[in-house]
Chain A
Amino acid sequence: MPSVSMTVNGNAVGGDIEARTLLVDFIREHLRLTGTHVGCDTSQCGACVVHVDGTSVKSCTMLALQAEGCQVETIESLADGDTLHPMQEAFREHHGLQCGFCTPGMVMTAVAMAKENPNLTESDVRHGLEGNFCRCTGYQNIVESIIAGAKAMQG
C-alpha cells in the first residue's frame, strides 16, 4: 500500500492507504474528522468541500494521494476554540442552515469565495454556490449569511 503524508488543520498526518482512497474518505475514516460530509457519489452536492492549499475542493473528486504534501483545511479548523469563525457566526446569525448536513461544505465554499472577493454581491454568491446543494433552506439565508460573513471577515 502506498503511503501518504499531508498537513490537515495544521497537523502532519499520514499513513499507508489503498491507492484508491478518496481524500474525503481519508479525512473521515482515517483521521475521523467527520465534519466533512458525503452527500452524493457523482461530485454534485458539495457537502464534502475542503480547502487544499487554500483552494476549495470537493474532497470526493480527489484521491488522498493527490493531496501528498498539501495543506488541507476542513470545517473543524475554522473556529478558534469556542470562538466561531466570522463565516460560521454569520450562518448562525442569519439562519443559513437547518439540518446542517450541507453546512460544512457551504461554509468552506463561502470562506474561499470571501477570500477571493470580500465584497460579494447576491448574484456572485448565487453563482458561486453552483456546486453546493442545500435541500432545506431555499438558499436565501445562505446567501445572506455569506455576504454578511464576507464583510465580517474583513473587519
Chain B
Amino acid sequence: MNNVNIRDSVRRTEDIRFVSGQGTYIDDMNADGQLVGMFVRSPHAHAAINGFDKTDALALDGVVEVITGADWAKLGFGFIPSNSAVKENTDGTPIAVPERSCLAATRVRFVGEPVAMVIAETLDAAREARDLVEVDYAPLDAVTHPVKALEPGAPQLHNGVDGNLCVHWELGDGDATEAELEASDHVVALELHNNRVTAAPIEPRGTLAIPDMETGVTTIYQSTQNIHALRAAIAKILRLENDQLRHVAPDVGGGFGGKNSLYPEPVVTVYAARNLGRPVKWVNDRSESFLSDTHGRSQYTTVELGLDADGTFRALRTTTIGELGAYCGTVGAFTPTGGSARTQGGVYAFKAMHYRARAGFTNTAPLDPYRGAGRPEGSFQIERIVEKAARDLGFDPIELRRQNIMPKASLPLKTAMGLDVDCGDFLTVFEKTLAMSERAGFAARAAKSEENNKLRGFAIAPYLECTGGMPKEHAIVTFSKNGAAHLAVGSHSTGMGHETALCQILSAELGLDMDHISFTQADTDATPLGGGHGGSRGMELGGNAVRQTADEIVAVGKQIAAYQFECEVGMVDFEDGSFFQPGSNNTMSVGEAVSASFNPDALPDDLAPGCMNIGSTFERGVISIPNGCHAAEVEVDPDTGVIDVIGFWIVDDFGTIINPLLADGQVMGGVGQGLGQAILEQAVYDGDSGQLVTGTFLDYAMPRADDMPHMTLDYYEGSPTEKNPLGVKGAGEAGCCGAPPAIVNAVLDALKDHGVTHIEMPMTPEAVWRSIHLT
C-alpha cells in the first residue's frame, strides 16, 4: 500500500521513464508514411519580398511540396492571434496589433521569420531543398533597440502603426504619486535595463501532425505547454472546427514560457499534413530556436523612489519602455504593462505608486512570457532602487528594508497597484532568510577575501509576486471496477512533476494507493478544457481541480455508503480512505464504494452505475500572492571581473507545500535562470544588420553547474491562502524574481569601495572589470 499525504516528498513517478531513456519527446515520435518539414527563414531583419521561386527546390528528388509565403497568402487563412489582457491604451484607443501571417509573403521583419515551408520524404532532402528556395528580398533599414524604435525617424515596421508604438499604458494614481514625490525629503532615481533573454529549454520546439482522412480529424503532437488554447487558435486560423483537431503534448523537455505561444510553424505543419494527406513532422534545430523562439524581458526603465528623512517610503514611480519584437506574441502587450505593473513596490508599503509603460515594435523575434513574465522585472526595479537609496542616503540596506516592509497586521490590503494581498508575513520571511545567511561570520569572510585580493559582498532581496494563467481547470477521475483510478487534467507539466504531485493530491484526498493511479495530461480528447501551464498555475488550478473532483467523489461515495448503511447521507463521515457512520460499526472503504458504484443493485435510485467517475472544473476567484526572500553572498575578482556566487539562501511562502522535494526543484531551477539573467545571459542583436549575435550556445551563455552556488532553502508555511481550498500560492516563477536583484545588489555591495553604484545585467566579467577600472 502506498498511501501518501500532502507535504510528503514523494519521489516522482515519471522519473522511471526519464532516467532510463524511455521518455517520449516530440522528436522521438514518428508516424508511418511521415514526411519531413523544414522552414525557410528570413536572413534579413527587415526586407520587402519581391517574389519567390521554388522551381529548383521542387525539382529535387524526394521533395513533395513547397509552400511559400505567396502561396500561403492565396489560401486566405487567418493570422496569428494575440490575446493580451491589456487591450487599450491609456486614452482608451485600442493597442496596435499588426497582422502576422504564418509565412511572410511581402515583407519580413526579423531574422528567422518563416517565409516558406519545404516538405520532403527525408530530412536530408528537406534540408537541401530549403537552400534551393529562392526569395527575392529588397533589404530595408532595421531597428532592433526598443528605445530607438520609438524615436522619431526610426525605421517603421508596420503600415498603420505610428512610430512603431504598440501600447502606452499606465496604472496607479499619477497625481497622488507626483504629490507624494514632491512631499518627500529625498527622491532617488535610477535608470536600469532588464536584459533581453530567452527561455532556451533544452528540447527545441516541434510538431508531428497526423491526418486521418476517414474521420477528417488531425492529431497534432506538439512540444508545447498550452494545448487547448493553441488548438482553438490553430483551428481558427485554418478555418476548422475545434473537433477536427486533437492536440496532444507528449513529454515536453522544458518550456518556461517559451512554449506558451502560438507559433507559425505548427500551423503550417498541420495544414501541410491535411493537404497532403500524410503525416508531417517538423522539429527545430537549436540555431532556429534562438532565431524563432520568443524572447523575454527587455525593458529600459527609470525608477523613482520618494522617502522621508527617516527612511520611510512614500511613493514609487516607474517609467518603462518595453518591446514586442516584430509582432505581438500570444500574451503580447501584457507583459511590459500589466505583467510588470501589478507587483510594483514588492513587499513594501507605499502611499502612492504609478507605473507608466510604452512598448513598441523592433526588428527582432517576438517577445512573450518567460518565467515570471513581468514580475521579475518589477522585482528587479524595486530592489535595485531600494538598494540605491540605501547607498546614496547612507541607510543600512537591511535596516531600510526592514523598516518599510508591509507589516503582517496591515494585511489583507489592496496595494496602490490594485493587487489583492490577502496574507503573508513578509517581515518574518525576511528575518528568517537573514538568520539563515550567516551574517555573523561575514566580516571574517570578507577579510579573508581581501587577503586573497578579492571583494566580498552580500545582499538580501525580498520579493512579492502573483500567480496568473487561465483561471479555470478541469480534472476527471475514472475508476476501473478493480478500484484503479485514472486522473486526467488540463493543466500541464513540462518538467515540474504533476504526474506525481497531482496523483499525490488525489491519493491523499481519497486514501488511494499512488501506485493505482494512472495519469493523463495535455490531451484535448482527455479533458474538455485545460489551461496548460503558465503563471505558476499548476498546483493553484490543477491541484485545486483535483481536490475539488476528489471532494465530489467523496460526496457520491457517502451516498453509496449511506444506502448500504441504511442511514441518512448526513450521518456518513469520510476519513483516511474509509466511509463510516460514527457510533456504529458501519464502514466502507473507497475501493468498496468504487465497486459498488458499478453495481446497480448497490446504488440508490438517483445514482447510475459509474457514478464515481467524475469530472469537475475549478475556477479561481482571485490570484494568489507567492512571496519570499533571497539572499546572496558573492566574491568578485577585481583583476578579472569574474563573479563567484558563493552562498545563496531562500525562504519562500508558497502557502501549502504539496511536495517539498518538487517545490525545492522549482525554486532552485528558477534561481538558475535568475542567476543566468544576472551575470551570464543576453540575447544580442547587431544594431546595424539586425542579425542575432547570440545565435548558438557558444554565444548565449547558459548557466553551467559550476556557475551555480549551493543553495539553502526553507519555507514559511504560516500563511496558507484562503483564496483556494488547498491554500497554495504557486511556486514556479519565484526563483526568477528573487535571484537577479539579490545577486546584482551583492556584487554592487562588493564593489562599493570602488565607487561603483550600478552595472547593467548581465554582469559579465568585462562589465564588472570596466566598472572598476574605467569609471
Contact = CB atoms under 8 A, between A and B. Distances in A.
Contact of A42 (B24, B253, B664, B698): B698
Interface string A32-57: 01111111111011010000000000
Given A40-B286, A140-B710, A84 B19 contact: yes
A97 B711 contact: no
Interface stretch (B447-455, B580-588, B669-677): B669-677
B28 to A, nearest CB: 4
Contact of B668 (A74, A91, A133, A141): A141
B254 A99 contact: yes
Contacts of B696: 40-42, 44
B202 A45 contact: yes
Given A101-B202, A136-B669, 15 more contacts: A42-B698, A76-B22, A84-B19, A89-B19, A92-B12, A98-B669, A99-B495, A100-B23, A102-B202, A130-B705, A134-B705, A137-B665, A138-B669, A141-B664, A141-B668
B578 interface: no
* 10 closest cross-chain pairs (CB), A and B: A35-B21, A99-B495, A100-B18, A101-B253, A138-B672, A75-B21, A138-B668, A44-B697, A98-B495, A34-B28
Interface string B664-692: 11001111110000000000000000000
A141 B665 contact: yes
A135 B700 CA distance: 13
Interface residues of A, number: 55
Contacts of B252: 99
Which among B253, B286, B287, B661 has the highest number of chain A CB atoms within 10 Å?
A: B253
Nearest to B14: A100
Nearest to B735: A138
Interface of B: 11-12, 14-25, 27-28, 124, 199-204, 251-254, 256, 285-287, 494-497, 661-662, 664-665, 668-673, 696-698, 702-706, 708, 710-711, 735
A134 B706 contact: no
A59 interface: no
- Per DSSP, are chain A's interface residues mostly helix, strand or loop, or mixed? loop
A93 interface: yes
A78 interface: yes
Contacts of B20: 35, 75-76, 78-79, 84, 88
B244 to A, nearest CB: 29
Contact of A47 (B16, B202, B664): B202
A126 interface: yes
6 contacts: A41-B286, A42-B697, A101-B203, A138-B672, A139-B708, A142-B705
A154 B603 CA distance: 58
Nearest to B695: A42
Interface string A68-85: 000000111011000010
A38 B696 CA distance: 14
A120 B200 CA distance: 29
Given A35-B22, A42-B698, A100-B251, A127 B706 contact: yes
